[in-house]
Amino acid sequence: MEKSGSIDSLGSKRSSSRQPSVDSLSSTSTSRSDRSAQAKPPFAMSSESVAASAELSPEFRVKPKPAAKQVLRDSDKEEPQLLPNETVQDRAQDVTYFCPFIGALRGTVTVTNYRLFFRCMDREPSFVLDLPLGVVSRVEKIGSASNRGDVSYGLVCKDMRNLRFAHKQMEDTLRKSIFEVLVKFAFPVSNGLQIYAYEYGQVFPENGWKVYDALSEYKRQGIPNESWRITKVNDHYEVCDTYPSTLAVPVNIPDEELKRVAAYRAKGRMPVLSWIHPESQATVARCSQPMVGVNGKRSKEDEKYLQAIMDANAQSHKLFIFDARPSVNAAANKMKGGGYESEDAYQNAELVFLDIHNIHVMRESLRKLKDVVYPNIEDSHWLSNLESTHWLEHIKLILAGALRIADKVESGKTSVVVHCSDGWDRTGQLTSLAMLMLDSYYRTVRGFEVLLEKEWLSFGHRFQLRVGHGDKNHTDADRSPVFVQFIDCVWQLTRQFPAAFEFNEYFLVTILDHLYSCLFGTFLCNSEQQRLKEEIPKRTVSLWSYINSQLEEFTNPFYVNYSNHVLFPVVGLRHLELWVGYYIRWNPRMRPQEPVHQRHKELLAKRAELQKRVDELQREVTNRSASSSSERAGSPTRSITPVQTFV
């Protein structure tokens, strides 16, 4: 483990008894429910989330009793189970939480440097709200409307909910309200504090920082080969500070020329390889917009470079350039020095606009969606309200774009270049979705982690800016749910191909929860360079450490490894659905009716049991018939074979 938090140091902490040590996590003697109860606290977002995601967190169904008992035992202490280096900052009694579904609840609030913890003891069972502070987008003091001296606070959250609290006006006017304390720790960056991820020292049996290694990923794809090479030109992030240090480029373009190509592309993000087709050698390359400007500036090097990308694929004499933007926006970018490739300058290249809107449109769309789903849903106008948010339409455009890319590469055997303006939002969505459709490796848990590390983290999707970790400036125009949208698209794929993905819905929800929680270092910072500078891998824990240490929670029991099988989803709006399990999970009325996962597990267990019995019987029959006549063994043996080919 690279992080200092060791078992010994944990032992000295007052909350150490609650922490899973390496031993207890890996030991088989620990019962399953205990394990998950221990591993759970940092991850259960709140009691409401428990209710909503019951379908996803199997231990609440399989063994609900221990879980319930756990809560009751905890409730005696009125304290959350603290994580390593998590310290209580303030506690207040008699705070009212206005739950939009249950009503006003009176209880105790505890604020630590990681979370807000509310517990209401009046109810049976007691009500618990456990909220990582990273989720809070804004805290507003709502004027004390009542004359009884209540002060009310509204917490706007990044994960599709708003919370409202109230407590009595402090008699001691000098004393700070607990919510003022909360503001300090909810926005550590703005208050000169450290994000909790740097303090969290949990040790997991697996080190998630080792999941992705650029060179071995390129090697898996067969790079370097006769047409592509690995370049170290960006080793010190001098050519492009938002790109990774390891890049794959066409063989016949020397590093010096690469620099000139980079100069012609916005932010120096030159076209580099994302994925190569193992058979046809058609490639997916990504970059930012060319700096064409109003004068239609051209770059011989860039033209030659794209020609080299095309030539690297012998199967096709054409290159498709996918510009993710609507053509109007692309043209408007010329005023700012950007623009798009003219087909005059790029012979044999065809430019396609994919009509995907920018981050501001997406942010607005998700805001509207939140209005429609939280807290109340208007039944009679649900569908038209949903339509008016245009969220699904945006999802459709992104999926349709990725589908076109995948189709060109797979069916057309043509190489493609994808870009938008800067090449770190829409471009990442498109390339990673296309790669997910094209390459079954990315549909495994580890492969998906690699995909995120590669296409999103190393290629500089600006997570810090888009999410605004620990930053109180909630109106920042750079914030946008680009990554959420991508995960939504992945979910749509899993809906259409339920057996093609090794991970389940809970995996996707967990990733999104920790996009905001600031518990892990994975989504901190904006680029590989920054992450290196901040020593993120040394100072924080990777989300993949947590996930890979309890894979059984996140695996899809129906996964079939369709290697080399390309997924072509249906992208019409008629075939897309709202991801209810994420966007409306706080509404207890949306609780799924049936523990479907449990039935799946039962079926799998039943099948294993029966298969075993069939095998036994068969052996018996074979033995018996071998001793008498051979014809009897024939039929059962033949009839058994198709069974084994499944799943």
- Return the active site residues: 420
Q: Any known ligand binding at 473?
A: no
Minimum distance from residue 62 beta carbon to another protein (Å): 9
Cis peptide before 498 (omega within 30 of 0): no
Q: What is the largest CA-CA distance in the chain?
A: 96
Whole-number Å distance between alpha carbons of 544 and 556: 17
Q: Is 352 helix (H, G, I), strand (E, B) or coil?
A: strand
- In angstroms, the CA 550 to CA 285 distance is 34
Minimum distance from CB of 55 to another protein (Å)? 9
> Which of 288-296, 341-349, 416-424, 636-644 is the region at the interface with another protein (rule: CB under 8 A)?
636-644
Is 64 a residue that touches another protein (CB under 8 A)? yes
Q: How far apart are CA 30 and CA 25, in angstroms?
A: 8
Of the candidates 12, 148, 174, 642, which one interacts with another protein according to CB under 8 A? 642
State yes or no: 476 annotated in a binding site: no
Which of 233-241, 320-328, 469-477, 621-629 is the region at the interface with another protein (rule: CB under 8 A)? 621-629
Interface with another protein (CB under 8 A), residue from 572, 623, 626, 630: 572
Residues 360-399 that bind another protein (CB under 8 A): 373, 377-384, 386-387, 390, 392-393, 396
Determine how many CB atoms are found less than 10 A away from the CB of residue 473.
Answer: 13
Residue 634 makes contact with another protein by CB under 8 A? no
Q: Would you say 404 or 472 has its CB closer to another protein?
A: 404
Quick one: 169 or 635, whose CB is closer to another protein?
Answer: 635
Q: Toward another protein, which CB reaches closer, 242 or 494?
A: 494
- 425 has binding-site annotation: yes
Q: Which of 307, 270, 375 is nearest to 588 (CA)?
A: 375
Q: Which is nearer to another protein, 215 or 596 (CB)?
A: 596
349 binds another protein (CB under 8 A): no
Structure-token match 């189709």, residue found: 407
Q: Which long-range contacts (CB under 8 A, 24 or more apart) does 639-647 make?
A: 640/614, 643/611, 643/614, 646/560, 647/499, 647/558, 647/560
**Candidate list 249, 349, 403, 519; residue touching another protein; CB under 8 A:** 403
Q: Does 647 bind another protein (CB under 8 A)?
A: yes
Phi, psi (deg, nearest 5) at residue 320: -100, 130
Minimal distance, residue 444 CB to another protein, in Å: 15
31 touching another protein, by CB under 8 A: no
Q: Taking CB under 8 A as the rule, does residue 407 contact another protein? A: yes
With CA atoms as reference, report the closest residue to 469 among 74, 197, 255, 77.
197
Q: Which of residues 135-194 bind another protein (CB under 8 A)?
A: none
Q: Which is nearer to another protein, 32 or 168 (CB)?
A: 32
One residue of 19, 33, 36, 47 binding another protein per CB under 8 A: 47
- Where b means 16+ CB within 10 Å and e means fewer, 114-149 reads bbbbbbbeeeeebbbbbbbbbbbbbbeeeeeeeeee
Stretch that binds another protein, among 3-11, 108-116, 295-303, 574-582 (CB under 8 A): 574-582
Closest to another protein by CB, 466 vs 597, is 597
Give min distance, CB of 426 to another protein, in A. 19
Q: List the interface residues with another protein, window 465-504 (CB under 8 A).
A: 496-500
Q: Is 626 in the site for another protein (CB under 8 A)?
A: no
Judged by CB under 8 A, which stretch of 31-39, 123-131, 421-429, 522-530 contacts another protein? 123-131
- Residue by residue, what is the 3-state secondary structure of 455-519? HHHHCCCCHHHHHHCCCCCCCCCCCCCHHHHHHHHHHHHHHHCCCCCCECHHHHHHHHHHHHHCC
Q: Which residue in this structure is represented by tokens 């495994």?
A: 444
Applying CB under 8 A, does 617 fall inside the site for another protein? yes
Q: Which stretch binds another protein (CB under 8 A): 1-9, 10-18, 200-208, 588-596?
A: 588-596
In contact, 524 and 463? CB cutoff 8 Å:
yes
Size of the site for another protein (CB under 8 A): 99
Count CB-CB contacts under 10 A for residue 565. 13
- Among residues 574, 579, 575, 601, the alpha carbon closest in space to that of 590 is found at 579
Contacts of 83 (CB under 8 A, 6+ apart): 15, 19, 41, 42, 114, 200, 202, 519
Between 355 and 534, CB nearer to another protein? 355
Stretch binding another protein (CB under 8 A), from 106-114, 327-335, 348-356, 630-638: 630-638
The least distance separating another protein from the CB of residue 604, rounded to whole angstroms, comes to 7
Tokens found for residue 232: 């170290």
Q: How far is the CB of 484 from another protein (least distance, A)?
A: 18
The CB-of-43 to another protein minimum distance in angstroms stands at 16
What's the one-letter identity of residue 561?
N
In whole angstroms, what is the distance from residue 634 CA to residue 638 CA? 6
Confirm or deny that 168 is annotated as ligand binding.
no
End-to-end CA distance of the chain, in Å? 36
Q: Which is nearer to another protein, 311 or 350 (CB)?
A: 350
Residues 249, 252, 253: CA angle, nearest 5 degrees: 60
CB contact at 8 A, 306 and 249: no
Among 347, 573, 626, 630, binds another protein (CB under 8 A): 573
CB nearer another protein, residue 27 or residue 635? 635
Place of tokens 């006549």: 629
Among 607, 623, 626, 630, binds another protein (CB under 8 A): 607
To the question of whether residue 423 is assigned a binding role by annotation, the answer is yes
- Strands 103-112 and 88-99, bridge-based pairing: antiparallel
Taking CB under 8 A as the criterion, the residue among 142, 294, 328, 603 binding another protein is 603
Q: In this chain, which of 2, 11, 23, 68 binds another protein, going by CB under 8 A? A: 68
Residue in 171, 226, 344, 594 binding another protein, rule: CB under 8 A: 594
Interaction of residue 278 with another protein, rule CB under 8 A: no
Q: Are strands 349-353 and 283-287 parallel, antiparallel or unpaired?
A: unpaired
Nearest partner of 194 among 113, 80, 112, judged by Cα: 113
CA proximity to 42, closest of 197, 208, 207: 197
Q: By CB under 8 A, which span of 8-16, 87-95, 122-130, 317-325 interacts with another protein?
A: 122-130
CA gap 640, 643 in Å, rounded: 6
- 568 in contact with another protein (CB under 8 A): yes
The reply on whether position 100 binds another protein by CB under 8 A is no
Which of 252, 347, 611, 630 is in the footprint of another protein by CB under 8 A? 611
**Residue ranges at the known binding site for substrate:** 333-336, 358-359, 420-426
**Residue ranges at the known binding site:** 333-336, 358-359, 420-426
